[in-house]
Structure 1
């Protein structure tokens, strides 16, 4: 991927795009994904890993609920990566990640991921640039291993929310009773480091691109969900999967 400047990429849908027609397209693809997921599970030749990254309040949980929540829960698992535990820190940084990669026939969602180990760790100066570069190489090799040697298809989404929309959503967590459970005072402190995070993400896109990134405008949920649904639908259709016949 060529150098990315997030400040030059819109966080919103194109102005002329019809919202209701787009939502209808999303619904059609979601209905088709039900059958495609069934094929993925039945054929059991491929697996899918979906990486969802983004700033606080970019809508990661909403994507998981509104897109992947429509699929058969027997074929989809979600792993959220928080701060590493002492046990995890005693291993290499990919140890806790690799054990959650999907077996054939399954979809695995990462709500945050191995990329936190070259993002938040750099923002807070927990690692230096030399270690970060070594980790980037390890990440590229890791994803290359999954794709080329295990028939794992990796979709990486960065939810591109604007600074203004993030602030609005964080404020809603203070006033909206249905969202107060999400409130974390540290989120406002992290938001102050916006420019540093943007730089780290841009460096990530530049150097960890063995599997390409999808930069998803995330200020409008309906458009964000459309783009992610479309990417998953396009991938699964491209696999030309078939139901296996009777077992002999």
Structure 2
């Protein structure tokens, strides 16, 4: 129960890594706002864990501001923000990725981090505490070909995490990131281009521990970094990748 009494917002929490994080936070005692564009699945996760479901497009400044205000109304205060919502473009030569896909990837993966920080940091500063966790990717550390702009967006998240950590540390606010390798989530097929036994075997051959990241793996790491047990840890971008980046 390392998060007992804590309140948390987890974006992209209706499935995949976000759902794993939301479940672990709730199991460890936190009250969780499950945020996603997929409202039915967000409701299912919220019902399962005794949390609050909220529909939000995290690339919209107005919707993000409304989300933070709703969380404060429902929970009284916010201790933890997890920026997990993310998308990718399909494996494609970099010059063939459409401008529309590029804009969408950077709006969801990068702009959302700016928007949520802009909305929540004043609250954290007022309280003199808070934890932000950004879900980046091994793609931002060890890029794969044909995922160029996704790789770049996750590299941006890693740099943003470190600069937020430096600026906000004097205010008692910690900012960290997790770098998962591709996992058993709805995005797996998009990363691989196609989900076949052959493509899975090829992908797994690059991971020394020989398996994909699971939502539970991310939940366990996230719960630690957002808990008081990690009170001396900020600016860390921790791989949860089975050795992929070695």
Q: What is the TM-score when the length of structure 2 is the normalising length? A: 0.39
Greater helix proportion: 1
Q: TM-score, normalised by structure 1?
A: 0.39
Bigger Rg over Cα = 1
